[in-house]
Amino acid sequence: MAFVWHQNSDSRQPKFITDITFTASTTFTYGQALIVSSTTGRWVTAAAGGPIGGVYNGPTITTPATPDVYPEIIEVRAGDEFTADYVGTPDATFKPGQSAADISSGGLTLNAADVTGGPCTILSLNTSKTQAVVRIKNRQFS
């Protein structure tokens, strides 16, 4: 599983961004954490330690060399909660209340071993399913 919109603490529905294209010749997967590149103005995979702009809400796609694909991206806003799998051996502080949990390479899961400088705050953990409910505190569009 990847990042899946769970709910908003203010009972708002998700907001979608549909007017920014993907980066060329790249594969994107449902639930992948993304950011708009400052050099190209197109969606790219969010990097560990950085902000998150949105979460891809469509089927896996490999974009052509000249992309004109306008994907449906769930904008990450204040109060939005996402359910995400986590990987790696959990750090001792990877617990509810942790405010610096990081994403893993590829932007599809949380890296439970990295709790320094990450964009996510952990609200709850389900250790039997290795899933966490998180809020994104370091947002690109905040």
pLDDT, mean over the chain: 95
Whole-prediction pTM value?
0.94
Q: At residue 71, what are phi and psi to the nearest 5 degrees?
A: -75, 165
SS3 29: coil
pLDDT value at residue 84:
97
* Contacts for 42 with CB less than 8 Å, ≥ 6 apart: 20, 21, 22, 23, 24, 36, 67
pLDDT value at residue 1:
75
- 48: pLDDT confidence band, cut at 50, 70 and 90? very high
pLDDT at 17 over 90: yes
pLDDT value at residue 99:
96
pLDDT value at residue 69:
82
pLDDT at 77 over 80: yes
Q: What is the pLDDT of residues 84-139, one digit of tens each?
A: 999 999 999 999 999 999 999 999 999 999 999 999 999 999 999 999 999 999 99
pLDDT value at residue 65:
87
Report how far residue 11's alpha carbon sits from residue 75's, in angstroms, rounded to the nearest whole number: 15
pLDDT value at residue 102:
97
Report how far residue 106's alpha carbon sits from residue 15's, in angstroms, rounded to the nearest whole number: 23
Q: Amino acid identity of 118? A: G
